Chains A and B, each alone.
Chain A
Amino acid sequence: MSDTALPGLTAAPSLTDAPKALPPSGLWGRLGGGFSRWLKSSSPWLNLLGLVGFLLLWQLLSRVLKVPLFVKLPGPWETVVEWFSPRPVYGISVFTIEYYQHIGLSSLRVFLAFLLATGLGVPLGLLMGWKKTFSDYAFPILELLRPIPMLAWVPLAILMWPGRESSIVFLTFLGSFFATLLNSWLGVKSIDPAYFRAAASLGASESLIFKKIVWPGAMPFVFTGLQISVGYAWFSLVAGEMLAGEFGLGYLIWDSYILVQYPVIIIAMITLGLVGSLSSFIIRAIGNALIRWKVKENG
């Protein structure tokens, strides 16, 4: 015990120093800072190799070997030709207005639903995490509603809302709302209780504690939640559009199936993947801009 305070001992690195988190992985994560470093490493070549290998395997299974399971699948080559054709056989390519109308309408629905889910889910989740009385009221209802699969809401959505548009947006909203709410709630729960005590000790009022502790403290979780919730939004959107849509990428997939326009199915699917990644990238970028302390902490 006595030597803990004596000089001359070697200083061991302190155990409490915050562990440095690993840099964000994946292509989108790298776009943040070390893009040029990423470009110089072997990663882009390996990424490319994986992608080309996947396409070759697809071509091989569906068109060369004609494996029964894959034989009805359009090959990658014919899909790409159709996708970029100025005169597409089935009427959908990057040169047609319809293609962009489908993307635009789907994106608009997701945007509206996501905005609603965020506007309601984040404040509600933060309040639930912060005030026990509030969560005591809300918790049972939410735990009852949350596990209900979004698809089970379809009949009610159609019954309740006037017109297709609002029912699709409602379904999309439901998919994203619970993820946002739950993560915002967890975000507050993850805040070290000592911060609340410290703030109270320093003389902060309740409203200041909300503004300066609850909100910034929960922010990393909130944005993780938003990234998950936008994924759920796209998921629910496609289901909604397949059942009740007249336009949109989900509708396009189902319609092309019925009309036996198989390459269009693949085009719409890949497009969904692309807009989905783009939306989650945008949210991550906004999050990183707002949570500078976390970014700096991770170096």
Chain B
Amino acid sequence: MGNGGSISVKEATKVYDPDGAKVLALDRCSLEIGPGEFSVVVGPSGCGKTTLLNAIAGFHELTAGEILLDGQTLSSPGKPAKPGSDRIVVFQNGALFPWMTILENVAFGPLAQKKMTVPEAREKALKTLETMGLTLIAQDYPGQISSGMRRRAEIARAMMCEPKVLLLDEPFRALDALTKIVAHQFLMEVYDAQKPTVFFITHDLDEAIFLASKVYVMTTRPASIKKILDVTLPRPRDYRLLASLEYQRLKAECQDAVREEALKAFSAGEREM
């Protein structure tokens, strides 16, 4: 792709329930994500990572500050947030429509946007499934396939829209270790092929460093950016990297930063949001 996809978050602030409990979820959080960058956000549970993702996705408005995509304002106070097919979200618990086959799910985006006719969307969906190695499950319903397959199909559905930005909210959280490895490789292949800007939330530091071009460590709530790590490991990446010295160094650095915040969150009695 490579056609844009830079995100700037400027002093983003979000207060939940401003008339009542006034929960400050984001506090003047700023970050710049370059086009085609694979950014991974780590931080303690409930720190506001998902709040930031939802603001970029356009699911809710900011209380203050703004978010720009390629210089265009996506979200600012007073400008009602709107989801757009240039930013597709892959959800924490998966959101493939259970009443549609995988093929129908994958073809949904272009049809919903009226960019393609049914046969065109079908053909492209089949091609996408084929390049992603998912042809065998095209006619299955999501309930019939494994959770690892479902995550991959959901990423395929997102990529069908050729989004500038792919937003993933702990997509592999519930997968077992082996399935996770396969899912990581899958996501890396998809990324290397299309180079969308990626905004990926996780708790898992191995996952973060293995996937990322940049790791953003967030503070405990109210969230802001604590540390940015450049991950210069070469691409395409492979699991042998996990044994390399550079990887160990990055992980130690990352761990130190996260540990501090996790302890703060723990002593504050933070719960999952």
> Which A residues form the contact surface with B (CB < 8 A)?
1-7, 9, 11-18, 192, 194-195, 197-205, 208, 212-213, 216-217, 219, 291, 293-294, 296-297
Q: List 20 A-B contacts (CB under 8 A).
A: A2-B251, A4-B207, A5-B239, A7-B181, A14-B174, A194-B95, A197-B83, A197-B95, A198-B95, A199-B97, A199-B108, A199-B112, A201-B84, A202-B108, A202-B109, A202-B112, A203-B161, A205-B112, A212-B108, A297-B143
Q: Which of B9-17, B85-93, B193-201, B212-220 contacts A (4 or more CB under 8 A)?
A: B85-93
A15 vs B147: C-alpha distance when bound (angstroms): 9
Smallest CB-CB separation from A217: which chain B residue?
A: B99
Tell me whether A216 and B161 are in contact (CB under 8 A).
no
Q: Determine whether B59 belongs to the interface, using a CB cutoff of 8 Å to chain A.
A: yes
Measured CA separation A214–B157 after assembly (Å) = 20
**Known contacts A197-B59, A202-B157, A203-B113, A14 near B95 by CB under 8 Å:** no
Residue B263 interfacial (CB < 8 Å): no
The 5 closest A-B pairs by CB, nearest first: A297-B143, A203-B113, A198-B95, A203-B85, A5-B206
Within the complex, the shortest CB–CB distance from A40 to chain B, in Å, comes to: 27
* CB <8 Å contact, A195 and B97: yes
| B146 interface residue per 8 A CB criterion | yes
* B29 proximal to A (CB < 8 A): no
Whether A201 pairs with B88 at a CB distance below 8 angstroms is yes
Contacts of B204 in A (CB 8 A): 1, 4-5
Within 8 A of A (CB), among B176-226: 176-181, 184, 204-207, 210
Decide: B89 and A203 in contact? CB cutoff 8 A.
no
- Chain B residues whose C-beta falls within 8 Å of the C-beta of A7 in the assembled complex: 177-178, 181, 239
Contact (Cβ within 8 A) A5 B143: no
Bound Cα distance A5, B147 (Å): 17
A195 to B100 Cα, complex, angstroms: 12
Task: Please name all residues of chain B whose beta carbon is closer than 8 Å to the beta carbon of A4 when the two chains form the complex.
Answer: 177, 180, 204, 206-207
Closest CB in chain B relative to A287 CB, distance in Å: 13
Q: Which residues of B contact A219 (CB under 8 A)?
A: 99
Does B98 lie at the interface of the complex (its beta carbon under 8 Å from any beta carbon of A)?
A: yes
Known: A4-B204, A18-B143, A296-B144. A198 touches B177 (CB 8 A): no
Interface residues on B, range: 35 or more
Given A2-B251, A202-B88; 20 other pairs, CB 8 A cutoff:
A4-B177, A4-B180, A4-B204, A4-B206, A5-B206, A7-B177, A9-B178, A12-B176, A13-B176, A14-B174, A14-B175, A15-B174, A16-B94, A18-B143, A192-B95, A197-B89, A199-B97, A212-B97, A212-B108, A216-B99
Judge whether A11 and B179 touch: CB under 8 Å: yes
On whether the beta carbons of A201 and B175 are closer than 8 Å, the reply is no
Cβ of B57 under 8 Å from chain A: yes
> Across the interface, which residues of A come within 8 angstroms of B174, CB to CB?
14-16
| B177 adjacent to A5 (CB under 8 Å) | yes
Nearest-neighbor residue (CB-CB) of A299 within chain B = B144
Find out whether the CB atom of A14 lies under 8 angstroms from the CB atom of B108: no
Given contacts A202-B85, A202-B108, A203-B113, contact A11 B178 (CB under 8 A): yes
On chain A, the residues within 8 Å of B175 by CB distance are: 14, 16
Whether A194 touches B91, Cβ cut-off 8 Å, given contacts A14-B176, A17-B146, A293-B141, is: yes
Residue B148 at the chain A interface, CB threshold 8 Å:
yes
Question: B139 CB to closest chain A CB, in angstroms?
Answer: 10
For A203, the chain B residues whose CB sits under 8 A away are 84-85, 109, 112-113, 161
B118 on interface, CB distance cutoff 8 Å: no
Taking a contact as CB atoms under 8 Å apart, the answer to whether B206 and A195 are in contact is no
What chain A residues lie within 8 Å of B93 (beta carbons)? 16, 192, 194
If A198-B95, A202-B85 touch, does A6 touch B112 (CB 8 Å cutoff)?
no
Measured between beta carbons, the chain A residues less than 8 angstroms from B205 are 1-2
Residues of chain A within 8 A of B109, CB atoms compared: 202-203
Q: Are B85 and A17 in contact, CB atoms less than 8 angstroms apart?
A: no
B242 sits at the interface (CB 8 A): yes
CB distance B206 to A201 under 8 Å?
A: no
Given the complex, which residues of A lie within 8 Å of B178, measured CB to CB?
7, 9, 11
For the complex, what is the distance from the CA of A15 to the CA of B59, rounded to whole Å?
A: 28
Residues facing A in B54-98 (CB within 8 A) are: 57-59, 83-85, 87-89, 91, 93-95, 97-98
Taking CB atoms, residues of chain A closer than 8 Å to B144 are 296-297
Contact (Cβ within 8 A) B87 A9 = no
The docked-state distance in angstroms from the alpha carbon of A249 to that of B184 is 66
Q: A116 to B207: give the CA distance in the assembly, Å.
A: 56
* A196 to B85 CA separation, bound complex (whole angstroms): 14
For residue B212, give the distance in angstroms from its CB to the closest CB of chain A. 13
Query: In the complex, how many angstroms separate the beta carbon of B22 from the nearest chain A beta carbon?
Result: 23
* Among A3, A13, A203, A219: residue with most chain B CB under 10 A: A203
Q: How far is the CB of B255 from chain A (nearest CB, A)?
A: 9
Q: Is the CB of B98 within 8 A of A293?
A: yes
CA distance A210 to B175 in the complex (A): 31
Write the chain A residue with the least CB distance to B203. Answer: A1
